[in-house]
Amino acid sequence: MAEEVRLPFCTIVSLHRSSLWYHVCKSCERVLPELRNSGGKHFTSMENGEECHHCLGNLLKNGIGSSRKRVYRLLLSVATEDKVMVVVAFDRAARVLMGCSADDFYKFVSHDPSVVELAGKLLEGHMVDIVLKHPKSGHAQHMRATSILPLSCNFQPVFQTIEKAYAKISNNICLVGSSLMH
């Protein structure tokens, strides 16, 4: 069993915005390959009409279908008192910071891509207690966060903060619009 390392007081320096999630099969949770269409847009093989090869057998045998879902893979730079390091937070640990599933966050981002940058800014500077493990595979670059605990009693997950901000903006637009009608 891999030894755990606890960083009881560290600060989130940044969220690396290049890749926040990846796709897995909803049935078996196997990683699905990412492909690119001619426009450079990412999509999975299942978005291109293919099924998970493992679950395709179940579909043919048992009539059980499969679909895809996104799960988080957040790269975070965190600072301790003596160093800055990059760690990876997969779905369970990342949901503590994000406050929703990767699919729900993706839906929000697809309407407003600037939300990704805002998410990074909202996380910057937060003190957290992180438990890390060395990667299972020998070729992984970063330690993985198995547990993340925000230390501030004022911490709000990213999604809730963004939802509140958008609700205020929406209400203000409604108020301005109704005052213009009178």
User: Containing domain of residue 135, as a range?
Assistant: 4-26+67-181
Task: Let me know if residue 58 belongs to a domain.
Answer: no
Residue 78 tokens, joined: 């965190």
User: pTM for the whole thing?
Assistant: 0.78
Task: Let me know if residue 55 belongs to a domain.
Answer: no
Q: Report the CATH number that the domain containing residue 157 is assigned in CATH.
A: 2.40.50.140
Task: Let me know if residue 53 belongs to a domain.
Answer: no
Residue 20 tokens, joined: 């926040």
Task: Let me know if residue 50 belongs to a domain.
Answer: no
Find out whether 22 and 43 touch, Cβ atoms under 8 Å: no
Task: Let me know if residue 54 belongs to a domain.
Answer: no
Sequential pLDDT tens for the chain (182 residues): 458 999 999 999 999 988 899 998 887 888 887 755 444 444 444 444 456 777 765 555 555 555 788 999 999 999 999 999 999 999 999 999 999 999 999 998 998 899 999 999 999 999 999 999 988 777 778 899 999 999 999 999 999 999 888 776 655 554 444 444 44
Separation between Cα atoms, residue 149 and residue 153, nearest integer Å:
11
Task: Say how many domains are in the chain.
Answer: 1
Residue 182 tokens, joined: 């009178």
Task: Let me know if residue 95 belongs to a domain.
Answer: yes
Task: Let me know if residue 36 belongs to a domain.
Answer: no
Find out whether 98 and 119 touch, Cβ atoms under 8 Å: yes
